[in-house]
């Protein structure tokens, strides 16, 4: 950990100390990060991999890397996204409102809540997924303090304190640092995973990510695995 408190990991084994690590860049209002969350957690727990959660301002990342915000994409691309959401919703058996009531919203409050929880050393898998589920399944406004308070209550005994911590200047600065670092790490979309120096873009690359983890552990990947 640096003097600023920012956690940076060696992608493979954290310099030979502790469990293997992977870096997870994501937009807290990303539909695809929502779909990938449960499988990322399963992979991490199955292989003992620590996940460094790094929420980013994806629209800022788009500006720097040539990405196009959803509303500015061609009708054909927008229509294909809807088909893909429907396909993955059915395949994964997850609830997903294709057009959630509150989307898009200001991503900073929810992202900073996660970073405040991260500063406390909390496991972010549950809180991050609950936050995205609130938007994509429950039609909640995750920029609303009342929504964030309810989410925090599920995971900490002092939700008001956590909400206050999330507003601290150093937390917002950390959010901006992750956004800046994302470009340097080759990130251009969400979700985006980095392991052992190899990038994996999208929740549909999670199988490849798991295979890379297995290789790093010294195991052979079974060919033809479904």
Confidence of residue 3 (pLDDT cuts 50, 70, 90): very low
Residue 217: pLDDT band (50, 70, 90) is confident
- The answer, yes or no, to whether residue 15 has pLDDT greater than 90, is no
Cα end-to-end span (Å), the chain: 38
Q: What is the DSSP annotation of 143-203?
A: TSHHHHHHHHHTT-S-HHHHHHHHTSHHHHHHHHHHHHHHHHTT--SSSEEEETTEEEESG
User: What pLDDT is attached to residue 204?
Assistant: 97
Tens of pLDDT, residue by residue over 109-163, are 999 999 999 999 998 999 999 999 999 999 999 999 999 999 999 999 999 999 9
SS3 21: strand
- Give the HSE-up count for residue 188: Cα atoms under 13 Å, Cβ half-sphere: 7
Is 201 a residue whose pLDDT tops 50? yes
13 compared with 214, residue with greater pLDDT: 214
CA pair distance 57, 151, nearest whole angstrom: 21
User: 43-97: per-residue pLDDT in tens?
Assistant: 999 999 999 999 999 999 999 999 999 999 999 999 999 999 999 999 999 999 9
pLDDT at residue 58, rounded to an integer: 97
Q: Token digits for 220?
A: 């052979």
What is the rounded distance in angstroms from the CA atom of residue 29 to the CA atom of residue 146?
Answer: 17
């Amino acid at each position: 950990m640096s003097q600023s408190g920012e956690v940076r990991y060696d992608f493979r084994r954290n310099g030979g100390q502790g469990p293997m690590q992977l870096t997870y860049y994501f937009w807290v209002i990303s539909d695809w990060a929502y779909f990938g969350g449960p499988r990322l957690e399963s992979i991490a727990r199955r292989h003992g991999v620590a996940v460094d959660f790094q929420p980013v301002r994806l629209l800022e990342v788009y500006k720097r890397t040539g990405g196009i915000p959803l509303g500015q994409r061609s009708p054909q691309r927008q229509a294909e996204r809807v088909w893909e959401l429907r396909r993955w919703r059915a395949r994964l058996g997850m609830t997903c409102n294709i057009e959630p009531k509150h989307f898009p919203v200001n991503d900073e409050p929810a992202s900073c809540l996660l970073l405040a929880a991260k500063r406390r050393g909390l496991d972010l898998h549950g809180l991050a997924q609950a936050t995205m589920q609130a938007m994509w399944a429950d039609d909640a406004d995750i920029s609303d303090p009342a929504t964030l308070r309810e989410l925090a209550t599920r995971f900490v005994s002092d939700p008001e304190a956590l909400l206050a911590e999330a507003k601290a200047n150093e937390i917002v600065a950390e959010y901006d640092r992750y956004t800046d670092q994302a470009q340097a790490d080759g990130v251009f979309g969400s979700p985006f995973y980095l392991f052992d120096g190899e990038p994996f873009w999208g929740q549909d690359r999670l199988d490849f990510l798991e295979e890379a983890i297995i290789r790093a552990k010294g195991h052979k990947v079974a060919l033809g695995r479904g």
